[in-house]
Amino acid sequence: MHNFYLRNKNRILAGIGLLIGLAIWEVIGRLGLSPAFPPVTDVLGAVVEVWTSSRFLDALKESMISVALALPPSIVFGVIVGVLMGRYRAVEWALDPLVNVFLSLPLVALIPVLFLIFGLGRGSILATIVIYTFFIVVVNTAVGVQTTDERVVEMARSFGANERQIVRRVVLPSALPLMFAGVRIAAGRAVRGVIIAEQVIGLIGLGGLVQRLGGAFAVENLYAVILFVGLLGLVTMESVAFAERRALPWVASPDDSGAALQGA
């Protein structure tokens, strides 16, 4: 029993933390302090109902189609451009300022402009996903390619490897961890992008559903959708991380146990 606790300590504590939070929420809800906090039991009751409703499933389908249409090409082109930037100095020099600007600016501010250009429909949503994801893949790939250990390249060269072999056998594998990291972040940002774009339109997809439920003060249903969107983001990023671990078994995941001041 004691051993079981030690081995699952973090999970048990997380469960306790969750229960405490939900209990507080339930009490606030029962007291009726704010319409924004209905009792958590009501929310959980709404979850099943909402998640199986056709309105919700249609919205989910809309959002997923947008991501499926925009994300893969964005990743593919991002990787291509990133490899070029990483390998060729002139390309890096030319694109670096643009990539930097796009990574520093609040991309969400571009949404009104995208709507002006692409109209209040799927085109704008796809464009939003692309600008949310493309540059992050580019910069991660480029840095991954650039940080290839020169000594390994020299080693390969000493065994008579030619340029193509060096890129295929040394540069790309060593860039893979950062490329995956870029894709992982891009996946999370794609969810962010599709939701916010749909929220601005207010009619289609999960983002639109959030806006409409909020406008109708259907708080329980709103929370059910928010819960789903959060889990969707989580599952999306975790599944990329999972693929990453499967594809790159040699990359050690950072040890995240313990704290610096422990025992001090």
Partner 1 sequence: MVGTEQNTVSEPGVGGRSPGRVRRGPSTSDLARWSVSLGSVAAVLLIWELYGRAQETSLFFVPFSGVVAALWELGQTAEFWDAARQTMIPFVWGWVLSLVVGIGLGLLIGTYPMIEALTKPYVTFLNALPVSTLVPVAVILLGIGYSSRILIVFLFGVIEVTLNTAAGVRYVDRDLIEMGRAFNAPRWRLFRRVVLPAASPGIMAGVRIGTGRAVVGMVVVEILLVAVGMGRLILRYRGRFQSAELYAVVLALILFGILLQVVARQVERRVSRWKSEVEGNT
For the window 30-69, what string marks contact with partner 1 as x by the rule CB under 8 A?
A: ----xxxx--------------------------------
Member of 13, 23, 155, 243 binding partner 1 (CB under 8 A): 13
Is residue 147 part of the contact set for partner 1 (CB under 8 A)? yes
Smallest gap from Cβ 133 to partner 1, in A, equals 12
Nearer to partner 1, 153 or 161 (CB): 153
What does each C-alpha distance from 82 to 115, 134, 248 come to in angstroms? Answer: 28, 10, 20
Smallest gap from Cβ 121 to partner 1, in A, equals 14
Member of 52, 54, 104, 158 binding partner 1 (CB under 8 A): 104
Query: The dihedral of CA 180, 185, 189, 191: what is its sign?
Result: positive
Whole-angstrom distance, CA of residue 37 vs CA of residue 17: 19
Specify the residue for token string 């056709």.
54
Is residue 123 part of the contact set for partner 1 (CB under 8 A)? no
Member of 16, 31, 57, 243 binding partner 1 (CB under 8 A): 16
Q: Which of residues 193-252 bind partner 1 (CB under 8 A)?
A: 195-196, 199-200, 207, 210-211, 213-215, 217, 219, 222-223, 225-226, 229-231, 233-234, 237-238, 241, 244
Nearer to partner 1, 69 or 241 (CB): 241
Smallest gap from Cβ 253 to partner 1, in A, equals 7
Q: What is the 3-state secondary structure (H, E, C) of 112-164?
A: HHHHHHHCCCHHHHHHHHHHHHHHHHHHHHHHHHHCCCHHHHHHHHHCCCCHH
Nearer to partner 1, 7 or 89 (CB): 89
Smallest gap from Cβ 226 to partner 1, in A, equals 5
Q: Which of residues 166-195 bind partner 1 (CB under 8 A)?
A: 178, 181-182, 184-185, 188, 191-192, 195
Nearer to partner 1, 162 or 255 (CB): 255
Is residue 121 part of the contact set for partner 1 (CB under 8 A)? no
Member of 28, 108, 166, 167 binding partner 1 (CB under 8 A): 108
Smallest gap from Cβ 1 to partner 1, in A, equals 19
